[in-house]
Amino acid sequence: MGILYVIATPIGNLEDLSPRALRILRDVSLIAAEDTRHTAKLLTHFDIHTPSTSYYEHNKLSKLDSILDQLTRGDVALVSDGGFPGISDPGYELIRAAIAHGVAVSPIPGASALLVALVASGLPTDSFVYLGFLPRKSSDRSRLLEENKGDARTLICFETPHRLIESLEDMQKVFGDRQIAVCREMTKLYEEIFRGLISAAITHFSQSEVRGEITLVIAGRSPEAQETWSEDRVRSALQQLINDGTERKEAAKDVAAQSGWERRAVYKIATEL
């Protein structure tokens, strides 16, 4: 039985590929790559001639059995387009299947876009939450942000250049004006790290076309931030005010100011009472 090597590859600077990773890429019988064309450039640069096969989101089910079969005859390396496989890609499913089949899994450390951004952000690193790629639709994105609004831990997510401004605006609406680090093109020639308030980030990145891969690191809720009430507490407070003769509109306004809820959401509940 072979070994499945999970190899972190450079996120930009090819010098970040470790000697150990190079040796294993040369020695394995097969490389399972997220994009064989992208990986071919890496292999060509280091004069590596190991056979490769594609393994990505849309062919993961059809390729899984053949890769597991290859592992019965030799070692296989799993790589992504950059960073650690298994982080926001289907790599974890191959890893899970290999473990279930009794295959040894050996991680080969290296670059990780989320960790590179986190340590460079200047925000707390002792506890953090990784949200993955933000949803494309603003409504879905806002819902995800709302779910994590009250978390005191640092938040990390990926975003594409053409949706950056929209996502920053959604964050400002949901989080308020928190500290953020926008990390762009990390380890590459045009590496940029913007640190400041979300509002300042919107202004900065609105001035020119944004390009490259982006990781966002957002400060968690501060201890001084207003506690957000539960829905039951909101309902109870509204009911008390309405019972005391306060009009629903005024009751909603008062409760919204105290509860951390948006006034429209509170008023909707008030109309149901």
Q: Taking the CA of residue 250 as centre, how many other CA atoms within 13 Å lie in the half-sphere pointing to its CB?
A: 8
136 - beta bridge partners? none
CATH 3.40.50.720 fits 114-218, yes or no: no
By the 8 A CB rule, do 120 and 181 touch?
yes
Domain residue spans in the chain?
3-111, 114-218, 231-272
Per-residue pLDDT tens listing for the chain (273 residues): 999 999 999 999 999 999 999 999 999 999 999 999 999 999 999 999 999 999 988 888 889 999 999 999 999 999 999 999 999 888 999 999 999 999 999 999 999 999 999 999 999 999 999 999 999 999 999 999 999 998 999 999 999 999 999 999 999 999 989 999 999 999 999 999 999 999 999 999 999 999 999 999 999 988 766 567 888 889 999 999 989 888 898 889 888 877 878 888 899 999 988
How large is the C-alpha radius of gyration of the chain?
24
Tell me whether the CATH fold assigned to 3-111 matches the one assigned to 114-218.
no
Distance from C-alpha of 125 to C-alpha of 114, rounded to nearest angstrom: 11
Is the domain covering 3-111 a CATH 3.90.79.10 domain? Answer: no
